[in-house]
Chains A and B, each alone.
Chain A
Amino acid sequence: MVEVHLREVARTFRGLRDVRCVLKGINARFNAGEVVAIRGDNGTGKTTLLNLIAGIDSPSEGEIVFAGDVNHLRIGFVQQDYTSSLLPWFDVLENVAIPLRLRGQGRRSRRECAKELLMSLGFGALPTNGFPHQLSGGQRQRVAIARALVHTPHLLLLDEPFANLDAHTSRDLQGVLLRIHESLKPTIVYVSHELDHCIHLADRVLLLHGSPARIVQSFSVALERPRTRDMILTPGYTEIRSRILKAEEELYAAEA
C-alpha cells in the first residue's frame, strides 16, 4: 500500500523564447487504496501531473514523496495515447508482460503470467499472438490496462483511459477497473474529462484549474462500494454531480 504526497509541486517548461509555468503550488495527498479523480480543462496540466508522479518528469519546484511500501514501489501507468504506448514489435502477450520483462522474468514465465491475467480480467478474447496494428482501439486499450496491472502495482495512474472508446467498451473497462480496485486495492489516480466516469470510480474528485494550474477544489464522493451503474440514479450521485458542475461554473464565471 502506497501513499503519495505532493508538496508545493510546480512544473515550468523553458523553451528558447518563452517560459511556461504549467503547474504551481500543487499540494495533495493520495491515501493508500484511495481512488482520486483529477478533472480539468484541456492543457491545464493533468498529464504533466501524472508524468511527475510516474517519475517520467521531475518537478521544477517542490517534491513528491511516496510513503508506505516504497522499497519495491510498483507503478502501473495507462497513458493517454495508448496506441503509441504499445510496442508495435511485440505481440499482445509480450506487450502485457513488459513490466515483468523489465524485472528480468524469463520469456515463458512472463508470457504465462500475462495470459493468466488476461483471462482473469475477462480479456480472453484478445488475440494473444496478434500485433498492435492488428487490434481495434478497444483491444489496444485492454492491452494497455492489462500491462499496467501485470506486476500488481501499488499505484495505478490512468490518463484519460476511456477517451476515444465507444460507450459500451468504456463501460466494460470501468467495470474492470472497479473489480481490480476491490481485489487489489491499489492507490489510483485517474485523470478524465468525463464527470460521470470520475464520480463512478473515485473516492475524491479534484478540480485542476487556472494558468498555472492549481488544485482549486476537492469533492468527496460518498457513494458506497462496490459501485454499480444504477448508482447514477441515486440522490447522492445527483447531488455530488451538481455540486461539482456548480463549482466549475463559478470558476469559469470568475475567470470571465
Chain B
Amino acid sequence: MQRRLRLLPMSVRPILTVCVVLVAWGIVTSSGWINPLFLPRLTSLGRAILSTLSSRDTYVDIYATSYRALGGLALSFIFAVPLGLLFGRLPGLYAFVELPVDFFRSIPSSSLFLLFVLFFGLGDAAKIAVVFYGCSLILLVNTVYGARPSREKQDRINMLRSFGANPWQVFSLAVLRDAIPHISAGVRVCVSLALVLVIVTEMFLSAANGLGRRIYDHYLAYRVPEMYAVIIVLGLLGFCANRFSLLVEQRITFWLPRQS
C-alpha cells in the first residue's frame, strides 16, 4: 500500500481527494438519499457559485468581512505585541495581570457580543471590538511566552552585552527576534479566529453586508445552493488567508529548521 501511494505525486493527492468528495456528493444528491433542501445537487450548486462569483455584491461582502477581520487583528497586534514583550521581559510585572488575562481568556468572545453592542452600537466598531478582544489575549499570551527569559535567550543577551551592545541593540537583535516565532504562530491562529468571529457577528449583529450576513439571508430565504456557494467562497477566503499567513510566517522565521 505504502509503495503504491509513493507512486502518486504529492501535488496530485489533494486534487484526488476533492474529486472523490465531488463524486460522492454527486452520487448522494442524484440518488435522492438526502433531501436537496439540505444538500443541493452539484448542477444547482455550480450555477449558484457562478452567479455568486459574478455578482458585485459578493466582492462588497468579501471586502466588508476582510476589513472587519483585519481591522480587529491589526488593532490587537498593535496593542498586544508591545505589551506582551514588556510582560515577557518583566515576569514580576506579568504576575499582576496573569490571573485576569487567564480569566478573560476563558470567556468565549461570542458570549460578549451583546456587551460590545452595548458599548459600541450596531456598527462596524462592535464587530471589530469582538475580534480585537478575541485576538488580543491570544497574541498577548503568545508574545509573553516568546519574550520570557530562558537560559538560551540569556546567553544571547549576555553575548551582546559583553560586546558592548546598548539596550536597544539587545532588544532588536535578541529579545524581539527570539519572540518572533511565537508572535507569528499567534498571528496565524488569530487570522482564522478573526474570520470566525466576524462571520458570527455579521450573522447576529445586524450587519448591512459581509459574508456572514449573506449566508444568514440565504438561509432565511431557503436559498440553499446560494448559501452553500457563499460558504465555499468563505472557505476559499479563509484558506487563502491561512496560506498567506503561513507563507509570511515561514519568511520571517527563515532560520528555523523545517521538515521537508
Q: Do A and B bind each other?
A: yes
Stretch at the interface among A79-87, A162-170, A227-235: A79-87
B174 pairs with A85, CB closer than 8 A: no
- In the complex, the answer to whether A55 meets B156 with C-beta atoms within 8 Å is no
Say yes or no: is A124 at the interface (Cβ < 8 Å to chain B).
no
The total of chain B residues at the interface (CB under 8 A) is 20
Q: What is the minimal beta-carbon distance from B132 to any residue of chain A, in angstroms?
A: 30
Which of B151, B159, B164, B254 gathers most chain A CB within 10 Å? B159
- Does the CB pair B160–A88 fall under 8 Å? no
Question: Which residue of the partner chain, among A77, A88, A131, contacts B159 with CB atoms under 8 Å?
Answer: A77
Are B255 and A75 neighbours in the complex by a CB distance under 8 Å?
A: no
Within 8 A of A (CB), among B175-203: 177
Q: Is B255 in contact with A77, judged by CB distance below 8 angstroms?
A: no
With known contacts A102-B169, A131-B255, A133-B257, A85–B161 Cβ distance under 8 A: no
Contact A55–B162 (Cβ < 8 Å) = yes
The answer to whether A87 and B156 touch across the interface, beta carbons within 8 angstroms, is: yes
B162 in contact with A81 (CB, 8 Å): no
Given contacts A87-B174, A102-B163, contact A51 B255 (CB under 8 A): no
What's the A-B contact tally at a CB cutoff of 8 Å? 60
A89 in the interface (beta carbon within 8 A) = yes
With both chains docked as a complex, state the minimum distance between the C-beta of B151 and any C-beta of chain A, in angstroms.
7
Shortest A142–chain B CB gap in Å is: 16
Cβ of A99 and Cβ of B163 under 8 Å apart? yes
Instruction: Tell me, in angstroms, the Cα distance from A77 to B163 when the chains sit together.
Output: 8
Q: Is the pair B159, A79 in contact by a Cβ cutoff of 8 Å?
A: yes
B102 at the binding interface (Cβ < 8 Å): no
Whether B165 is near chain A, meaning CB under 8 Å from some CB there, is: yes
Say if the beta carbon of B173 comes within 8 Å of chain A.
yes
A56–B177 alpha-carbon span in the complex (Å): 21
For chain A residues 97-113, which have a beta carbon within 8 Å of chain B? 98-99, 101-103
Chain A residues with CB below 8 A from B151, complex form: 81, 84
Answer whether A102 and B174 are a contact pair too, CB < 8 Å, given A79-B158, A79-B159, A84-B155: no
B152 touches A133 (CB 8 A): no
Q: 0/1 per residue, A52-82, Cβ < 8 Å to B?
A: 0011100000000000000000111101010
Q: A79-B158, A81-B155, A85-B155 are in contact. Are A98 and B163 (CB under 8 A)?
A: yes
In contact, B255 and A85 (Cβ under 8 angstroms): no
For residue A55, which residues in chain B have a CB less than 8 angstroms away from its CB? 161-162
Residues of A with C-beta under 8 A to B161: 54-56
Chain A residue numbers with a CB within 8 Å of B164 are 74-75, 99, 102-103
The contact of B162 among A77, A90, A103, by CB within 8 Å, is A77
Complex CA gap A157/B159 in Å reads 11
- Closest Cβ–Cβ distance, residue A15 to chain B (whole Å): 14
Instruction: Report how far A158 CA is from B162 CA in the complex, Å.
Output: 12
CA distance A81 to B115 in the complex (A): 52
Evaluate contact between A79 and B155: CB separation under 8 angstroms: yes
A55 to B160 alpha-carbon distance, docked (Å): 11
- Closest residue on chain B to residue A88 by CB atoms: B255
CB distance from A145 to the nearest CB of B (A): 13
Q: Which residues of A contact B165 (CB under 8 A)?
A: 102
Q: How far is the CA of A77 from the CA of B158 in the complex (A)?
A: 10
Using Cβ atoms and an 8 Å threshold, which residues of chain B touch A89?
Answer: 177, 254-255
A106-160 CB contacts (< 8 Å) to partner B: 131, 133, 151, 157
A241 to B95, CA, bound (A): 53
Q: When the two chains form the complex, which single residue of A77, A87, A98 contacts B177, counting CB atoms closer than 8 Å? A: A87
A149, chain B: closest CB distance, angstroms: 12
The minimal Cβ–Cβ distance linking B174 to chain A, given in whole angstroms, is: 7
A103 to B169: give the CA distance in the assembly, Å: 10
Q: Collect the chain A residues with CB atoms within 8 Å of residue B156's CB.
A: 84-85, 87
Question: How distant is the Cα of A90 from the Cα of B159 in the complex, in angstroms?
Answer: 14
Complex contacts, A133 vs chain B, CB 8 Å: 255, 257
Residues of B within 8 A of A84 (CB): 151-152, 155-156
Assess A54 versus B162: contact at CB under 8 Å? Given A87-B173, A131-B255: yes
Nearest to A91 among chain B residues (CB) is: B255
Q: Which residues of chain B have C-beta atoms less than 8 A from A81's C-beta?
A: 151-152, 155
Question: Could you give 17 example pairs across A and B, Cβ below 8 Å?
Answer: A56-B158, A56-B161, A56-B162, A75-B163, A81-B151, A81-B155, A87-B174, A87-B177, A89-B177, A89-B254, A90-B255, A98-B159, A98-B173, A99-B164, A102-B163, A133-B255, A151-B163
Residues on B lying within 8 angstroms of A by beta carbon are 151-152, 155-156, 158-165, 169, 173-174, 177, 254-257
3 nearest A-B pairs in the assembled complex, by CB-CB distance: A77-B162, A84-B152, A84-B155
